[in-house]
Structures are given as C-alpha cells and as structure tokens.
Structure 1
C-alpha cells in the first residue's frame, strides 16, 4: 500500500498548516488496526491535506496511496477513503473548478477563467482521480457495504464510460441486499442522469420503474427524490400524499440497528457522527427530495406537515431539521409548519425538543405561531433539555426574539443573577418597549462591569445595546463610569468607547451630563462616534461638523490592509452621521459626492444615503443604489430604508423593489453557509420594500 511513500519529498510540500512532512504518518494511520487512529487520520487528511476542499501539492501526492488503501481488501473504514478521493477529484456537478472555490465581492469565485496557479492543482486532482477510476469498478462489489455505498457515486463521477456504469448500476440494483447500498445506487442513477446526457433517458426510465409498488418504501422514496432532481416532469401528480404514505409505511417497518455502537473520537468527523439523526437514512431520503423541490414551497410545506404528523419521533425530528433549509432559503407563509414545530417542544424526546428550539431560534418574529409552547417551556422553569434553569437558555431567547412580553419575567430573573450571559442585553433589545421594566436591571448589571478586566467589553457591549434600545437615560452615570474609568491599554477599549458613545447618542438630550466627556473624544480614534453622539445629545453642529468632514477626507499613501479597512469603516460611519444631521451638513456634499465613486460598495451606499438625507436630490443617489443593489445583496436593507425616506423621489428604482418582493428566494440565501440573522434581515427588507412602495 505504501510502496514508494518514503521516496516522496513530503517536507518540500505544503498543506493547510505548512509543511507536509506529517502526511506519510497520516496515510499510514489510515491502515491502523485501531479505529480511533483511523478516524483521527481521516480527520487530519480533511483538516490539513484537503482543508475546506483545497488541493495542495501534498494532496496530489497522496492520491496514489489513497487509491492503494481503498483497493486493499479487508481494510476497515475504506468507505471514508473512497469519499475522500471523490472529494479531492472535484465537485459533484462534474466541474473541475468554479462553484465557489473563492468569494469576491461581486460573487465571482475561483472558476475556470480565474488566473490562479492553484487552479492547476484542482485540474490535476480531477485528472488523477479519473485516471484511477477503474479501482471503483471493483469496489462496487466489495465485501464492505460502506465501500460499496461510496464507490457507486465515485464511479459515476469519474469513470469515462457512462453506458458501462449505467449497466453496472442496474445490475447491482438487482443483486444488492443491503438497503443502504441500494439507496446509494439509486442516488448514483440520478447523478448519472444529471451528468451524462447520453444516458439520461435510460437512467430516468430506470428510476421511474423503481417508483412502483413492488419495491420497498425506502427505495421508492429514493427514486422519487432523484426524479425530482433530474426529471421532475415524470413525478406523479399526487407526489406529496404518495411520499407521506411511503414515509409512514417505511417508519413502521424499520428494524432496530444491529450494528455495534462505535465510540467516536474528539475530531470533526467524530462530532459529525455523533450528530447524525437517529434515522440518518430516512433523513437523507427526504432531504434529497426537499432540495430537489427547491422553490416549490407549497409542496414542501405540505410534505413537512406530513412528516411532522408521523408517529415516529425520528421522522418528526428529521422534518424539523429539514424545515431549517426551507425557512432560510425561501419566502412563503409558514404559520402552519412553525406551529407544528412548536408542538414538538412538548415531546418527551430531548433530541426533538432541542431540534425544534434550534430552528425556531433563528426565525425571530416568524416563530410567533410557536410562542405559546415556548412560553409554557419558559414558565415551567426547564430548558429544551428538560433541565431546571434560571439562565438565558434557548427557549427564553427564542421567545424574546418573537417580541413576546411573556419573556420579561424570566429575563428579569436572569438579570438578577450575579453572572449574566453576555447576550442578555441583545435579547432584551428584541422585545422593544415591553422590555422597559428590565432597564433598571440592565443598569445595575452595567454598574458591576469591572473597569480593567479582559472581558470588560464582552460584558458591557450587550448591556449597552439593550439600554440604548430602551433609551434608558437614567443609566448615564454608569455609562460615564466606563467611558472615563477604563484604562487606555484595556483590551478592545476602542470598540467599548464606540459602544458607549452610541448608547449616549441613543439617550439624546437627556444625556447632557456626558457632553464634556464626548467633547474630549473629538480628537481621538473614536472622534466620529463621539461627534455623532454629541450631535444627538447637544445638537451642536458647529462643534462636530469639522470632525466628520475630516473623517471623509481621502487617505494619504496606502497603509496596511487593516488600516485601509479601518479608514473605510470610518468614512462610512462619518457619512451616516452626516446624513442624520440633515441639511445642516451641507458643507459635506462635495466629499460625499466623491465617495459615491469609491471602490467600496458599502462606502458608496452610505454616501448616497447621506446625500439624499442632506440635499434631497435623487439624481446622484439612484444610480449608486441601482448598482449596489445588484452588486451586493447585503446592501439592500440599507437602500430600502433610504427609499422609504425618499418616498416618490425613489420611484425610478422601484422596479428593483418590485422584483425583490416578487422573488421567492431570500436575498441572503447562498450555498455553503448562512448567518444567524439572515431570516430576520430578509423579513425586515421585505417590510421596507412594501413601505417604500406605499410611500410613493
């Protein structure tokens, strides 16, 4: 297996963490007799040699040895090695490059057209795995079912004779006895239909034949999922009731697993194994179908409701997790499925309760149909794991994010404790005015924040945001204690000072006691934040205008990347502060017009908003909005808010607003990740878009 491994100059190669001198040790450990060693080695290969899908010279040098390991009969855990080889070989859609090897501001990634020397590595890796694809032919009949399961997909992706692969898959479907491998064969048929047009018709016909009643429910569900992705026109008209009936029948017939429980290592792979659903096979079947249905939200909601009505806990748990992808990516009316997810909070199964809370947590106000169940869980004094709690657990945080006043008493209890979770202040902010009774407690906790602790900022910042949201000016003394008392060498002091200034600005004229302290900051690193706050508190335009105009000035010689980013942020903050001054900031107009030609999309957007708020002239503003809206979806919320202020003057770009409202997809939806506030920000964008049209 390792012939020639010591002749490779591994030390001259690299992986994600530097020298690749340790790669031979990782490769040899993949053949260890100890399962924990094999798992740790595979985790190391993914973590360093194939880090986040990257291909290094050491990755290429590993390919022959990985093939030798994969083809060695009787070696345990070779299924994971086959999957690693397939991942090294390239993306599932058959492209060697592209599909997100990088993310630029305009959304362009690595792509085949990118002039990046590393692109050659991806091409060579794809060629190397294709050259060894004959190994996969023998592995589809291997004695190890995990190897057979992984090999069928690899064969489709890399073997250069698709008709031969199709015939082999059809033959294996007739002979294969393991349910999991049969499902993998069906998935491979669907992949073949998508990747190889010459075999599409025959593969689709095979999938259609597998949808019939002679076959077991799991196989039929797998075939329907693949049809949805490669030939949706061949799906049955009664798809959803058919799928729900098959799911329920399958769940009733599932036999308890006879496989020995495996102890997982403390690695990413081990963690993923522990997080797998109780019915991983069923989860994959329905996940495939949901993904293939895409924007067909009516069907997907009906399917979720069918899954959530199952008598089997695993089915309902899978449905909850699958709902997350639907909610994050697509816009629709979700009251019914959200209410059904809320019902799972009353389950005796900890796994199901935790799944339900995890999904409801990122829905914010969309979780309102589940608020009664959340409130009951909060009022019971237990968290989603059934443990007694008086802390900011996820059910309480989720209830507060709904804006539900029933969260207030429990949050008060949290705030009365000597140690308060750092996110409590942010959570309070989501409640709005109903959280007013909590303001004195926030003030008390702020008074207890030490002046010189490494976590001073972490503890103070959320409390400050909560106090600012509630406009609780009685806390001015506590804010000034931190502003005037923290040592200059304090960790994150600049960030703390900005947060303190913003809070004082939110208090407005009732914070006049802070004017001297804010004036002292007008010549320092936090001058922009101090000037903005001083304008809000005192209204002295003449004192703050020179500071903000100075912040708009072009930089001198280019400095470090960090310095450039800080200057960009400072100019954007100054533009926003000037916009809040309105017509009094007219001397800033030339500088703001210059910023609308900036290379930074956020800087251009902030400058354009300020131009409108100061001069009320749409002509220089709307072209910037149109370009930024298309270039970076993250700017749309800011632009839509300005369009609300513009009223009729914004009408020339209302086509963008109407297109946004008509789009079924959330504006931040993207492959490969999501943010915790993406759904909230999308709902706020939709609200602003509707208001902008109504205002015109």
Structure 2
C-alpha cells in the first residue's frame, strides 16, 4: 500500500498548515487496525491535505497511495477513502461537472497567480482520479457495503467509459440487497443522466420504472428525486400526493423509535446533536427532491405541508429543515407553512422544537404567522430567555425579530441582569416604537460597561446600536463617558469610537452637548464617522466638509470613502464642493464605493446622467448593492425610470437576490423582503 512513500519529498510540499512532512503519518493512519486512529487520520486528510476542498501539491502526491488503500480489500473504512478521492477529483465543488459553479468566483474578484496555481492543481487532480478510476470498477461488488455505497457516483464522474458504467449500475441495482447501496445506485443513475444527456435515455427509463417499484417506498422516493433533477417532464402528475403517501408508508414500515435528545444546553455539542436529523436517510431523500424541484414553490410548499401532517416526529422535523432552503432561496406566499412550523413549537420532541425555532429565527417578519406560538413558548419558559448569559434565547429572539411587542417584557428582564447577550441590542430595533420602554434599561447597562476592559467594545457596541435605533438621547452622558474615559490604547478603541459616533448621530439635535467632542474627532481615524454624526447633530457644513473631502481619498480598507459619500449625500446641496471628488469615486474599482458615490451625486446635484450607468453596472455585478440602489431610486422618482427595467425584473424573479450556492447569511431573507418593498416603492414614486 505504501510502496515508495518514503521516497517522496513530503517536506518540500505544503498543505493547509504548512509543511506536508506529516502526510505519510496520516496516510499510514488510514490503514491502522485501530478505528480511532483511522478516523483521526481521515479527519487530518480533510483538515490539512484537502482543507475545505483545496488541492495542494501534497494532495496530488497522496492520490496513488489513496487508490492503493481503497483497493486493499482487508482494510476497514475504505468507503471514506473512496469519498475522499472523489472529493479531491472535484465531486464536491458545487455542481455535477466538478467545475466551478457560477458563484465560484465572486463579483469583481481577482483570481491572481495563487488562484491560477490552485486551478492547475484541481485540473491535475481530476486527471489523476480519472486515470485511476479503473480501481472503482473492482469495488462495485466489494464485500464492504460502505465501499459499495461510495463507489457508484465516483464511477459516473470519473470513469472514461460511460456506457460501461451505466450497464454496471443497472446490473448492480438488480443484484444489490443493501438498501443504502441501492439508494446510492439510484442517485448515480440520476447523476449519469445529468452528466451525459446524450446517453441519458436508458438511465431515465430505469428511474421511471423504479418510481413504480412495489413495496420499496425509499427507493421510489429516491427515484422521484433523481427524476425531478434530470427529466422533470417524466414525473407523475400527482407528484406531491404520491410523495406524501410514500413518505408515510416508509415511516410506518421502516422507522425505528428514536430516543429524544436530552441535551438542553446551548453548547456547540448540544446544537450539533439537535440539528442532526433523527432520520438522516429520509432527510437526504427529501432534500434531493426539494433541491431538484427548485422554483416549483407551490409543489414544494404542498410537500412541506404534507410532511408536517405526518404523525412521525422525524418526518415533521425533516420538513422543517427542508423549509429552510425553500424560504432562503425562493419568494412565495409562506403564511401557511410558517404557521404549521409554529405548531411544532408545542411538540414534546426537543429536536423538533429546536428545528422550528431555528427556521423561524431567520424569517424575521415572515415569522409573524407563528408569533402566537412563539409568544406562548417564550412566556412559558423564562429560563430560556438568556438572562445573565452571553446568548439571547432563540425563541425570544425569533419573536422579537418578527416585530411582536410581546417580546418586550422578556427583553426587559434580560436587560435587568448585568450580563447582557450581544444579540439583545441588535434585536431590539426590529420591534420599532414598541421597544421604547427598553431604552432606560439599555442606558443603565451602558453605564455599567467598564472603561478599560478587553470586552469594552463587545459589551458596548450592541447597547449603542439599540440606543441609536431608539434615538434615546437621554443616554448622552453614558455615551460621552465612554468617549472621554476609554484609554487610547484600549483594544478596538477605533471601532468603539465609530460606534459611539453613530449613536450620537442617531440622537440628532438631542446630542448637542457632544459637539465639542465630535469636532475633536474630525482629524483622527474616525473623522468620517464623526463628521457624519456632527452633521446630524448641528448640520454645520463648514465644519464637516473638509474631513469628508479628505476621507473621499482615504484608503479603501478604512471604509472612509464610502462613509464620506453617504454623509455627503445626506447633506444635499450643501455638499456641492464634493462633486468632483464624488465623480472620481464613482469610477472606483470597488462596487460599494461606486454605488455610494453615485447615490450622493444624485442627492447633491439631481442629475441622473452620471448616476444611472453606475447603478446598472453595480446591480449586475453584486446583488448585495441592490438595496442601496433601490433606496436611491425611490428618492429619484421618475428620474430613475431608465433603469426601472432592473426593478421590474427583480420583482418578477422567483429567486431571492442573495440566494447563492455554498452558503447563506443570517439576514438574507430580511434584506430580500426589504428590497422587494423598495422596488415597489420605486415604481410607485415614478408614477
């Protein structure tokens, strides 16, 4: 297995953590007779040699030894080695071809020499895995079911004789008795149909026949999911009722009782345990189908509602988790499924309650149909509020984010404790005027923040945000205490000063006593933030223009140019002397700076000509700037009409503007709903 391993100059190679001199130890660990050592070695290969999907020179050098290990029939846990080989070859890169998806490189990113070298390594890795793929042929009928489960997709992706592979898959499906392997074979038929469209007909026909396989609901569900991804026109007309019936049959026939999770702490281990589906196989089957259905939101909503009608808590839990991807990626009317998810909050199964809260938490105002259930849960369990802890209770956070005033009493109790969860200050703003009673408590907590602690910024920033949102100028003494009292060498002091300035700006004229302090900051690193606040407090253009003009030309990584442009825009005609600098910034290579400058050009000059081309380009380059662009289009009214085609296209799109492969942000749904509101407002303003 390791012939020649010591002749490789591993020390001259690298992996994610530097020298690859330890790679032979990891490779030998994969062949250890001790399960723990094998698991540790595989984890090390993923963690260093194939870190987050990267391919290094040491990764390439490992491939022959990994193939040798996979082919060694007496070695346990070879299924994981086959999966590692497939991943190195590009099987996990985001799409079926193993190449970069459309989100592989972000807007405006420069790939550079390092990225080119990495792409070369990836290409060489794919070539090496294809060259060794004959090993996979010998493993299709291996005695280890985990190996047989891992091999089919690797064969489809990397073997250079597709007809032979398809014949082999169909033969193995007829002979295989292990259900998990049969499901993997079905998934590989769908993968084959997607990768080899010109030869897909036999694979599609086999999937269609599998959809009608009697007494095998799991296999039928798998076939339907694959068919949806490669030949949706061959799906049955009654897809949703068929899937729900199969799901219920599978649950009744094959489900073993699952012990409820007893972990109630909010530790990382507890979270991972609760997030793990009680029925992982069922979760994968339904996830595949949901992903394949994509924009067919009506079918997906009906499917989720059907799943939530199951008597089996694992089915309902899977439905809740499935809904997360739907809500994050697609726009639709979700009142009914959200209300049904709210119903799960009354379950005695902790995993189900945890799943429901997790989904409701990122829906913000879309969680309103579940607010009654959330409020009941919050009121019934004060121990879950997060009093005296670093983390705000998740049901309470979800309720507050939905804008429901019933969260206020619990948040008030949280704020009465010396330790305040960071999320509390940031969450309060979603309650609007209903949060006003919380302002004195925020002020009290801000007054207790130490002046010279490493935690000064982390404790103060959320409180300042909350006070700024509520425009509670009565907290001015506490804000000035921090501004004047924190030592200059304090960790993150610059960030703290900017947060203090933002709060003072939000107080407006009520922060009049802070004017001298803000003027002193106009020549420092926080000059742009101080000028922004000073304009809000006293609107002295003569005082704020010089630092803002300097900030327009400051280094990008300080954020100064963007902040300056935004402030100059708020100044309107008073900022006319800044127009030349803003025109220059509107040609910046950085999309956020260009967008902020274009908005300011309109707000100052009222001339749409230099603004609209910037908006059109930025809109297409980076979806994240669309909210800023659309807010300005609302102010422009009819002058923005030449780019309203972008707005209409956005409103007609079924997909959320921030939806992307490989990840999501915690406020993506909120920002998308706000964008839709601004799009409608922009069209209304022009009519």
CA contact (8 A) 1:102 1:108 kept: no
Equivalence for 1:492? 492
CA contact (8 A) 1:350 1:385 kept: no
1:588-624 CA-to-partner distances (Å, cap 9, x unmatched) read 1111111111111111100111111111111111111
Equivalence for 1:99? 101
Equivalence for 1:295? 295
CA contact (8 A) 1:90 1:96 kept: yes
Equivalence for 1:565? 557
Write the distance in 1 (CA, Å) between the matches of 2:488 and 2:552. 26
Equivalence for 2:69? 69
CA contact (8 A) 2:388 2:419 kept: no
1:380-529, aligned counterparts within 5 Å?
A: 380-381=380-381, 392-529=392-529
1:103-151 CA-to-partner distances (Å, cap 9, x unmatched) read 23337879xx998133221121111111111111121111111111001
1:440-464 CA-to-partner distances (Å, cap 9, x unmatched) read 0000000000000001000000000
**SS of the residue 1:99 aligns to:** coil
Q: Is the alpha carbon distance of 1:414 and 1:367 closer, same or farther for their aligned partners in structure 2, counting shifts above 3 Å?
A: same
CA contact (8 A) 1:152 1:169 kept: yes
1:255 positional shift: 4.6
> Is 1:656 the counterpart of 2:658 in the alignment?
no
Write the distance in 2 (CA, Å) between the matches of 1:502 and 1:180. 56
Equivalence for 2:265? none
CA contact (8 A) 1:383 1:389 kept: no
> Is 1:17 the counterpart of 2:17 in the alignment?
yes
> Is 1:680 the counterpart of 2:673 in the alignment?
no
> Is 1:609 the counterpart of 2:599 in the alignment?
yes
1:392 positional shift: 2.2
Q: How many residues align?
A: 675
Q: Is the alpha carbon distance of 1:404 and 1:47 closer, same or farther for their aligned partners in structure 2, counting shifts above 3 Å?
A: same
1:279-294, aligned counterparts within 5 Å?
A: 279-294=279-294
Equivalence for 1:180? 180
CA contact (8 A) 1:578 1:588 kept: yes
CA contact (8 A) 1:390 1:410 kept: no
Equivalence for 1:560? none
Equivalence for 2:305? 305
1:52 positional shift: 1.2
Q: Is the alpha carbon distance of 1:453 and 1:271 closer, same or farther for their aligned partners in structure 2, counting shifts above 3 Å?
A: closer
Write the distance in 1 (CA, Å) between the matches of 2:99 and 2:269. 25
CA contact (8 A) 1:515 1:534 kept: yes
Equivalence for 1:587? 577
Equivalence for 2:224? 224
**SS of the residue 2:525 aligns to:** coil
What TM-score results when the alignment is normalised by the length of structure 1? 0.93
1:517 positional shift: 0.8
Equivalence for 1:324? 324
1:409 positional shift: 0.1
> Is 1:576 the counterpart of 2:566 in the alignment?
yes
1:355 positional shift: 0.8
Write the distance in 1 (CA, Å) between the matches of 2:166 and 2:456. 63
**SS of the residue 1:580 aligns to:** helix
CA contact (8 A) 1:425 1:465 kept: yes
1:396 positional shift: 0.2
1:63-116 CA-to-partner distances (Å, cap 9, x unmatched) read 111111111113221111110000011236564543379523337879xx9981
Q: Is the alpha carbon distance of 1:293 and 1:380 closer, same or farther for their aligned partners in structure 2, counting shifts above 3 Å?
A: same
Write the distance in 1 (CA, Å) between the matches of 2:520 and 2:27. 62
Equivalence for 2:617? 627
Q: Is the alpha carbon distance of 1:100 and 1:36 closer, same or farther for their aligned partners in structure 2, counting shifts above 3 Å?
A: farther
1:73-152, aligned counterparts within 5 Å?
A: 73-91=73-91, 93=95, 95=97, 97-99=99-101, 102-106=104-108, 116-152=116-152
CA contact (8 A) 2:385 2:414 kept: no
**SS of the residue 1:348 aligns to:** coil
> Is 1:690 the counterpart of 2:680 in the alignment?
yes
**SS of the residue 1:423 aligns to:** helix
Question: Which of 127-136 and 451-460 deviates more?
Answer: 127-136
Question: Which of 391-400 and 402-411 deviates more?
Answer: 391-400
1:272 positional shift: 7.3
CA contact (8 A) 1:640 1:685 kept: yes
Q: Is the alpha carbon distance of 1:376 and 1:102 closer, same or farther for their aligned partners in structure 2, counting shifts above 3 Å?
A: same
Write the distance in 1 (CA, Å) between the matches of 2:304 and 2:170. 32
CA contact (8 A) 2:387 2:420 kept: no
CA contact (8 A) 1:102 1:109 kept: no
CA contact (8 A) 2:274 2:354 kept: no
Equivalence for 1:233? 233
Write the distance in 2 (CA, Å) between the matches of 1:625 and 1:389. 44
**SS of the residue 2:200 aligns to:** helix
Write the distance in 2 (CA, Å) between the matches of 1:158 and 1:270. 39
1:583 positional shift: 1.0
CA contact (8 A) 1:173 1:185 kept: yes
1:530-549, aligned counterparts within 5 Å?
A: 530-549=530-549
Equivalence for 2:263? none
Equivalence for 1:189? 189
1:377 positional shift: 0.7
Q: Is the alpha carbon distance of 1:17 and 1:127 closer, same or farther for their aligned partners in structure 2, counting shifts above 3 Å?
A: same
1:470-511 CA-to-partner distances (Å, cap 9, x unmatched) read 010000000000001000000110110011011011111111
**SS of the residue 1:141 aligns to:** coil
Unaligned runs of 5+ in 1: 259-267, 556-562
**SS of the residue 1:117 aligns to:** helix
CA contact (8 A) 1:510 1:537 kept: yes
1:647 positional shift: 1.0
Q: Is the alpha carbon distance of 1:351 and 1:115 closer, same or farther for their aligned partners in structure 2, counting shifts above 3 Å?
A: closer
Q: Is the alpha carbon distance of 1:523 and 1:115 closer, same or farther for their aligned partners in structure 2, counting shifts above 3 Å?
A: closer
**SS of the residue 1:614 aligns to:** helix
CA contact (8 A) 1:464 1:503 kept: yes
> Is 1:643 the counterpart of 2:645 in the alignment?
no
Write the distance in 2 (CA, Å) between the matches of 1:279 and 1:53. 27
1:325 positional shift: 0.6
Q: Is the alpha carbon distance of 1:102 and 1:167 closer, same or farther for their aligned partners in structure 2, counting shifts above 3 Å?
A: closer
1:356 positional shift: 0.8
Write the distance in 2 (CA, Å) between the matches of 1:384 and 1:448. 24
CA RMSD of aligned residues (A): 2.3
